[in-house]
Structure 1
């Protein structure tokens, strides 16, 4: 592929820092401190400058003084997208390393020296789109070694990198641009004009599209059911503890309202085939769990069939015993959630979407102490995105006089724990509907099956130090959620802080 990549005269140019084209869009919360380094031999020092106006501006959550700007977002042949990102060192005395900032956090560290984490959100397909993967290379994107880029950015200098990835479906006029280092950048305009510079052609050689399915969970406050929306199907996990008595397969009186809600969702769906799958926890043995889970699935099938108002729907009943747990059976809560009947069907068609608002609500915040240390929380936005998505952004500030760690964002309940530290300890609640929304998660295929990453600020690996706050330091975090279609205000709970009533914009 290297022989297809020409000199990126206008694309991999180095820019003077401080090109403040969109000051209103820039996030002003400082980020984490980067360790001071001596000037390495490979420091970026070229004289070329990229002075294009920025389409979107933000800053790294991890590294102080690193400004991130989208300077190009071009659709090619209606199928591909070329994203160009300018990274600027706005400091005066430190050389900043950029490769760890943009490496894809859902892949092995071998991809960390590439700009492999640049992506866009496909809201229609509920997918996180990443750069194409050619044969023998981790990424169709800027490479630290191949493109002659220095590892460090000098104070007052910039470097522009690129990624070639699939275009989001539906031919949208704008896109949400994602990087591992920053909160998502919303409403970035897509141009159908040819981009400046020469880029690798994804049609010139075999490449694989790398996408991460976005799954958006929510649950009723009474814990009777939880729903996961993966963009194609709804998976409604009905609690067996509510539906049935212990070791029984006859629906209880409490099951009627749950069945009615599930039937209404199926009625609103285009599904012709629905699956009701019974599951058990790890207690007992297969001789008990397998037939019991199947009888329970059949009971749910009978109830739903009687409640459906449209014809032509066939419900299949299956029983899997304890072989397909959703959560770790090591905890009582994990076991409770694994005892379920999962009803799966094509997701209902979304209602016509309103234009996405571009204004931000006024700050909403709280001050308090966490383990005796003073911190401030400020919600900077709860924004409605297309496709039923929502973006929550918030800033946490160390109000104390000493450096300290804030680890409460990843201290979630054990049943929902991820393998990787992330800002998962966040909830949105629709009090009137008695429904709670959990952070979205990214489905990542592995050799052993499927892994999950939080669709939120990453706090693992090279970003572990994001939880470390200098005195007065503020950091901005984010989470993607499902959002109810008509709610104007939601209750927000972040880590150990109290509840906040936050408007949806």
Structure 2
């Protein structure tokens, strides 16, 4: 995202079978003097005052659905390079390079390769992990108390008919059933339209290993708690009864609760946010993925997947670089945006997502991947960061604010590459991809 700042993994070593030492080379490949690097490598989910650290070096543990970041010792933000302590300075001059490092947990399952993430560019896939000791002197995370720093990756999806939405964290599946579809206004009796929704949810529970299923009723902020709480409980109980009658597995117990409007998923400031908050949430262990048929080893071509738009009178081009399947049901979408005009233009359409989506910073979240045959739409993943007040959500995609506040400005002929992490259906083939204002495209899954 920063022109002429090249990032390369030059070392990825597993230590004691449980830690990783990641070494990154940063190079100034252009002619700009005093190219800043420290803020570019800082973890965007931490306070901006910590930008002098290389705290954004991480690994995506796709199977565990976790974004792993450097350990945090008691006296500093991370076990990683510090531009002042390590004498690296703030800038890199033309033709020069520096090496930075981070010490973090190794991904689960003892894999031979890793997905390396930095704030600078899309994730780097299939980076080999060496079990040899790294060359150099790096801090030992076992020598002092350290705190694990990771971000849970949630993959949302929704039915095209708006009857339900799901959130998958790799361990549990949370199914939010729309109360507007399940019930008449102010009622707790299931409508005829609820039958197919109940049947699909029951099939998912049958396919999981859960012995306990939680069912929670929720309302929006309209009305008052004296009405909302008992109504939300009765609706949850109605869903429990319907699911119990449809399940084929025995020994499944239910935990049912009504929360009224106390646990909104989205802001109640919009009609869409309110609609989504009127829900019955069913949570259970994620079903095992279906076995996919082997597919050809030669990736399908993604050439010619382009679109055009305009920004401030300048022609803006988009080209999809790939839609790649990663482990753990993940997908990686990468695409390029180019200003083909003769003047600078601010292209601000990538973060103009629906109003009910809220992230800590603006990001390239205006992306949808659709499986028309399955009637489902896949939204950008989100990284959850615990806070004193609850949880902050960050898009698992390219930032366009914070440190990257000028990312939406494109000089003439300038190209930037963007990415999104999303869920992908197990069925191989072609999916429809809609990016910002550009035309929808049929994109093969690689």
The reply to whether TM is greater than 0.5 is: yes
| Aligned pairs for 1:254-269 within 5 A | 254-269=193-208
| Aligned pairs for 1:416-435 within 5 A | 416-435=357-376
Aligned to 1:332: 271
SS for the counterpart of 2:121 is coil
| Aligned pairs for 1:13-28 within 5 A | none
Aligned to 2:56: 117
Measure how far apart 1:390 and its partner are: 0.2
8 Å CA contact retained: 1:361, 1:380? no
TM-score of the superposed pair, with normalisation by structure 1: 0.86
Gaps of 5+ in 1: 1-60
Q: 1:350 to 1:211 in 2, by over 3 A?
A: same
1:342-382 deviation per Cα after TM superposition (whole angstroms, max 9, x unaligned): 00011112345779979573331112334643111100000
SS for the counterpart of 1:234 is strand
Aligned CA-pair RMSD? 1.4
| Aligned pairs for 1:459-498 within 5 A | 459-498=400-439
Aligned to 1:287: 226
SS for the counterpart of 2:200 is helix
Aligned to 2:77: 138
Aligned to 2:163: 224
Q: Distance in 1 between matches of 2:351 and 2:47?
A: 21
Aligned to 1:69: 8
8 Å CA contact retained: 2:33, 2:94? yes
SS for the counterpart of 2:356 is helix
8 Å CA contact retained: 1:237, 1:342? yes
8 Å CA contact retained: 1:409, 1:424? yes
Aligned to 2:256: 317
Q: Distance in 2 between matches of 1:366 and 1:180?
A: 26
Q: Distance in 1 between matches of 2:424 and 2:96?
A: 40
Aligned to 2:244: 305
SS for the counterpart of 2:406 is helix
Matched, 1:361 2:311: no
Aligned to 1:386: 327
Q: Distance in 2 between matches of 1:207 and 1:477?
A: 33
SS for the counterpart of 1:416 is coil
Measure how far apart 1:418 and its partner are: 1.9
1:116-137 deviation per Cα after TM superposition (whole angstroms, max 9, x unaligned): 0000001111000000000021
Q: Distance in 2 between matches of 1:192 and 1:335?
A: 51
Q: Distance in 2 between matches of 1:70 and 1:355?
A: 30
Q: Distance in 2 between matches of 1:68 and 1:366?
A: 28
Report the number of matched residues.
Answer: 444
Q: Distance in 1 between matches of 2:110 and 2:37?
A: 31
1:450-505 deviation per Cα after TM superposition (whole angstroms, max 9, x unaligned): 11000000111120111100011111000000000013111000001110000000
TM-score of the superposed pair, with normalisation by structure 2: 0.97
SS for the counterpart of 2:197 is helix
Q: Which has the higher strand share?
A: 2
SS for the counterpart of 1:501 is strand
SS for the counterpart of 1:259 is helix
Q: Distance in 2 between matches of 1:182 and 1:169?
A: 24
